[in-house]
Amino acid sequence: MIVGVLALQGGVEEHLTALEALGATTRKVRVPKDLDGLEGIVIPGGESTVLDKLARTFDVAEPLANLIRDGLPVFATCAGLIYLAKHLDNPARGQQTLAVVDVVVRRNAFGTQRESFDTTVDVSFDGVTFPGVQASFIRAPIVTAFGPTVEAIAVLDSGEVVGVRQGNIIALSFHPEETGDYRIHQAWLGLVRKRTELAI
């Protein structure tokens, strides 16, 4: 199983470490040819506006969006969630997204870097609950609305939606890769395997 990590900026190495620890073969994705043969892709956190600009600069945005629309499994964290969203409450000037997940996202919903925090979050999908996932919220977004094809899979005690699923896409506001809690990576790899087996 070959899984890519969009390696334009942000927490690339942390996701590579997580995936390789779980037995996946990984590839850094920077240009369109790096997408060939992938069975899934991770979009890491970082700075969503920089991610957008670099993806367009390296001509990877459009082919990536097309693959996702065709069912390529995606695991996204923080800025990755922003980059997948169809709508942003508060986009930066000129900011674009892949517009492949039917959600409205608010950037920097908890404030600046100084308001970053760690907590635990229960994450539930496919009838399984992963209790107390260790989560770092770093200038994190939240989901303020979502369409009928999207389910909320992680909600803070204060009510904010911080994780969603749409088909083969898992997108989180927070960073489990920063804490060494790889349970959601492992569950997502299970989705990748199922899709690969169905295609055989």
165 among annotated binding-site residues: no
Q: What's the N-to-C CA distance of the chain in angstroms? A: 13
- 20 carries an active-site annotation: no
Q: Are 1 and 189 in contact (CB under 8 A)?
A: yes
106 among annotated binding-site residues: no
Q: Given 15, 39, 175, 178, which residue is catalytic?
A: 175
Q: Given 15, 39, 78, 178, which residue is catalytic?
A: 78
Q: Are 98 and 52 in contact (CB under 8 A)?
A: no
46 among annotated binding-site residues: yes
163 among annotated binding-site residues: no
184 among annotated binding-site residues: no
Q: Are 185 and 18 in contact (CB under 8 A)?
A: yes
Q: Given 14, 39, 160, 177, which residue is catalytic?
A: 177
114 among annotated binding-site residues: no
- 175 carries an active-site annotation: yes
- 197 carries an active-site annotation: no
* Residues annotated as part of the active site: 78, 175, 177
Binding-site positions for L-glutamine read 46-48, 107, 138-139
Binding-site positions read 46-48, 107, 138-139
